[in-house]
Structure 1
Amino acid sequence: MLMEALTDRSRPAARSAASVRHYLPGGCENGGGIGRLVGYIIETAKETGAKHFVTDTRGARWSKLTSPARLVGAILTMAKDRIVTPDRIHHIHIAGRGSTSRKLILTEAARLLGCCHILHLHDYDYAGDFAQRSPRQQRLIRRMFQNADRVVALGQRDRATLTTLLGVDERRAVVAHNCVPDPGTHNICDGGTPLIVFLGRLSERKGVTELLSALNHPLMKELRWRAVLAGDGPVEHYRRLADAMALSDRVEMPGWLDAGEARALCARADILVLPSHAEGLAMAVLEGLSHGLAVVTTRVGAHEEVITDGETGIFVPVGDQNALGAALAKLVSDRELCIRLSVQGRAHYVNYFSMMVYMRSLEKLYETVSAKHQGWAAAR
């Protein structure tokens, strides 16, 4: 069952008094796309009166020695909440790999403490990660997801993983596409040098090698443009690769940008490109739509639930540097196409992926799980 509020834009935002604690790796500052999403939720919740808190379950990527202490601290915080604020909803964000290992422990604590808890799956290939686990781990993971009050997926592919592979009851598996704040409109393709932006971790999964090859495509060499590839990861490796392609005078790689810096970059850009090999639902794609950028991406994860090819963005095949180069060259040289995709993509964002739309669906989810627990407590 999907959350009706995702498509019910006429309903006024509920003034919910929900008290929610989010658990995520790295917190809002070091939690990557998950952290950015939760940060947006917290800022928007201030306008509705809801109280949202964040607990870091891992620490920064490079702080592996402190990760166990963070997890113990998260469990103690959960136990304290159960005593002091027993109605608090525990919103647990999960991905594959080490995140699942930590959440197996955290969700078991939630079950033993009797906490109302939601599992929110963020992963580019959770089915693949699950397949590599031992039979015992698979049993534990299935039980973890089946015991949650609700499970949230980023799109229909991941919801199918939950209901078929992990055995989650269809009535408890919901879809909530990611969202980003509304930055307002701006004009693109104004006659200046077009700016192409990439937002995300610089990696092979994100298609950065193909992107550099596409920027080095003969069609692109004949045109005026600049590009900024913003994100963490092996930045120096990709800088050297760009130098070897003689792109260093046109391509900048500033490293990771915080939310404000990313917003400022998009505000002066024209095109957003994300040629990923695998995604859940990339925040960067939504950032591009919200800013009214012409978006070029791949048909992975839930992207086809967000982008309509030729109307609100352009799809290119995964790993096809020539198709990517041709698509970018077309947008750089065709001002009318760039503007059309900008206007239509921006309208699509406002109607379906704004923070207000997302918060209405989230508030409804919280109301549902809270009512369930209150009914269960009354029956005892």
Structure 2
Amino acid sequence: MDCASDFVRRADVDTHSPPAQTVFIVVSGGLEHGGGIGRQMGYFLQARQDTEQRLRYRVIDSRGPWYLGASPPHIIGSIAYFGRAILILSRACFSSPCVAHVNIAGRGSTIRKLILLTIGRAFGLRYVLHVHDYNYAEYYRGQRKFLQKLITTMFRRAETVVVLGRRDLELVSQTLQLSKDRMVVLHNAVPDPGPSPDRRPIPGKPCQLLFLGYLSARKGVAELLKALASPAVKHLRWQATLAGDGPIDEYRALAKDLGILDSLSFPGWVDERRVSELCTGADVLVLPSYAEGLAMSVLEGLSHGLAVITTPVGAHLEVIEPEVSGILVPPGDIAALGDALVRVIEDESLRTRLSRGARARFLEKFDARRYVARLEQLHADLFAPQHDHPKPVEKGLIP
């Protein structure tokens, strides 16, 4: 994400007099290597450059060792990143008013944030927790009582807890016994790529299918390949691109065994520019995941006016209106996925209708400019006197 990297460099070497109030965006891997979380924060920071600069933002990479058996250079580098994050936040607490916007998922992300925020709290750091995990409640329930207590304390000390959808609002509030008055729902958002290109079918051109994401079992990649290889789909006119990291050779071998490899492309990891290019050239976005928070690729598909096929997991039901802005199929249901693929490949009028619905849905609610206004307002409210703080959910700041 080139522009995100440019932002980090500008933020770190800004020679202008910065506003006194600083928000530290804490994300493991930073903007370039932080996966969907890093991409979302990058989109936020890019979009706000065209707005009034009320606050100063700085990105902190909080990555740490994935596991104790990692290579020594990796462990040393990870500890350096993590130590730097602790040092920056600790020093900031003594220099100017600041808050931390801490992006969190389960597993190692939670452990690192526990250490970071425990130290930060000792210096008076105030923070927002932004939960991105596809099932944080399940992760929490799988931990020992002692760790559960630490996690609960960390969440209860947060000024605000941000979640991706209404389902997470219910699950996290119930599991951690948090008041909903201190939580907000903020759907992910992506930049507007501009009006969708003319997607009128070209005679003889195959329907272009696109998968964006880490190639894995959770994303339903094997099910997608099997649906494409089903008799009803296999002999239709289509080409598919599966873009993302993961065990590519494993899925390429499966595609070969299924007899569809010649119709597939596996470009590997792609940057933001390439994602936009792939979406521009595609007709259909397919993401048959078993679990998601709110997939960025679904929003990318909506923004480019693609016909979206996905599953009703996470916050997807809050994003996709069935048969209007996309098609929803049950997770793991290869037959239903195959039927949906047949429909969008064969029915050009359906693709056109879903394309228009997708674009309209994006403009209605998932443009990054709307995200900027809501998130920056949340941050600004944290610097206001305590008695002036609105209740975000009740006031509708972040619906």
For normalisation by structure 1, the TM-score amounts to 0.91
Once the 2 structures are TM-superposed, how far is the Cα of residue 157 of structure 1 from its aligned partner? 1.2
Q: Is the 8 A contact 1:19 1:87 kept in 2?
A: yes
1:19 to 19, 22, 32: 22
1:33 to 18, 31, 36: 36
For residues 144-190 of structure 1, give each alpha carbon's deviation from its aligned partner in whole angstroms, at most 9, with x where no partner exists.
Answer: 00100111000011111221111222111000000000011222252
Partner of residue 55, structure 1: 60
Rounded Cα–Cα distance in structure 2 between residues aligned with 1:373 and 1:259: 39
Runs of at least 5 residues in structure 1 that lack an aligned partner in the other structure: 1-15
Rounded Cα–Cα distance in structure 1 between residues aligned with 2:148 and 2:318: 29
SS across alignment from 1:360:
helix
Q: Does 1:46 align with 2:49?
A: yes
2:188 to 165, 178, 184: 178
Kindly indicate whether structure 1 or structure 2 has the higher relative contact order, using CA contacts under 8 Å at least 6 residues apart: 1
Partner of residue 299, structure 1: 312
Further displaced range: 269-278 or 157-166: 157-166
Partner of residue 3, structure 1: none
Partner of residue 327, structure 2: 314
SS across alignment from 2:274:
helix
Partner of residue 5, structure 1: none
Q: Does 1:107 align with 2:117?
A: yes
Partner of residue 223, structure 1: 236
SS across alignment from 2:308:
strand
Please tell me the root mean square deviation across aligned C-alpha atoms, in Å.
Answer: 1.8
Aligned pair count reads 360
Runs of at least 5 residues in structure 2 that lack an aligned partner in the other structure: 1-18, 390-399
Task: Give the direction of change, closer, same or farther, for the CA distance of 1:330–1:351 in structure 2 (3 Å limit).
Answer: same
Partner of residue 393, structure 2: none
Q: Is the 8 A contact 2:309 2:327 kept in 1?
A: yes
Q: Does 1:211 align with 2:216?
A: no
Q: Is the 8 A contact 1:242 1:248 kept in 2?
A: yes
Runs of 4+ in 1 over 4 A off after TM superposition: 59-62, 372-376
Rounded Cα–Cα distance in structure 2 between residues aligned with 1:126 and 1:105: 18
Rounded Cα–Cα distance in structure 2 between residues aligned with 1:18 and 1:80: 14
Further displaced range: 140-149 or 71-80: 71-80
Task: Give the direction of change, closer, same or farther, for the CA distance of 1:331–1:189 in structure 2 (3 Å limit).
Answer: farther
Once the 2 structures are TM-superposed, how far is the Cα of residue 26 of structure 1 from its aligned partner? 0.8
Rounded Cα–Cα distance in structure 2 between residues aligned with 1:120 and 1:215: 36
Once the 2 structures are TM-superposed, how far is the Cα of residue 130 of structure 1 from its aligned partner? 0.7
Q: Is the 8 A contact 2:293 2:315 kept in 1?
A: yes
Q: Is the 8 A contact 2:65 2:79 kept in 1?
A: no
User: What amino acid is the match of 1:54?
Assistant: V
Rounded Cα–Cα distance in structure 1 between residues aligned with 2:36 and 2:86: 23
Task: Give the direction of change, closer, same or farther, for the CA distance of 1:246–1:213 in structure 2 (3 Å limit).
Answer: same
Partner of residue 349, structure 2: 336
Q: Is the 8 A contact 2:234 2:260 kept in 1?
A: no
Partner of residue 382, structure 2: 369
Rounded Cα–Cα distance in structure 1 between residues aligned with 2:94 and 2:264: 54
2:84 to 48, 64, 73: 73
Partner of residue 5, structure 2: none
Rounded Cα–Cα distance in structure 2 between residues aligned with 1:201 and 1:60: 20
Partner of residue 116, structure 1: 126
SS across alignment from 1:243:
helix
Rounded Cα–Cα distance in structure 1 between residues aligned with 2:230 and 2:20: 54
Task: Give the direction of change, closer, same or farther, for the CA distance of 1:38–1:17 in structure 2 (3 Å limit).
Answer: farther
Q: Is the 8 A contact 1:219 1:325 kept in 2?
A: yes
Partner of residue 144, structure 1: 154
SS across alignment from 2:130:
strand
Rounded Cα–Cα distance in structure 2 between residues aligned with 1:115 and 1:17: 15
SS across alignment from 1:159:
helix
Q: Is the 8 A contact 2:48 2:369 kept in 1?
A: no
User: What amino acid is the match of 1:244?
Assistant: D
Once the 2 structures are TM-superposed, how far is the Cα of residue 60 of structure 1 from its aligned partner? 9.1
Q: Is the 8 A contact 2:32 2:38 kept in 1?
A: yes
Rounded Cα–Cα distance in structure 2 between residues aligned with 1:295 and 1:65: 42
Q: Is the 8 A contact 1:197 1:227 kept in 2?
A: yes
User: What amino acid is the match of 1:81?
Assistant: A
Aligned sequence identity (%): 45
Partner of residue 161, structure 1: 171
Rounded Cα–Cα distance in structure 2 between residues aligned with 1:57 and 1:72: 8
Q: Is the 8 A contact 1:189 1:338 kept in 2?
A: no
Further displaced range: 94-103 or 183-192: 183-192
Q: Is the 8 A contact 1:30 1:60 kept in 2?
A: no
For normalisation by structure 2, the TM-score amounts to 0.87
Task: Give the direction of change, closer, same or farther, for the CA distance of 1:101–1:338 in structure 2 (3 Å limit).
Answer: same
1:187 to 187, 195, 198: 198
Partner of residue 252, structure 1: 265
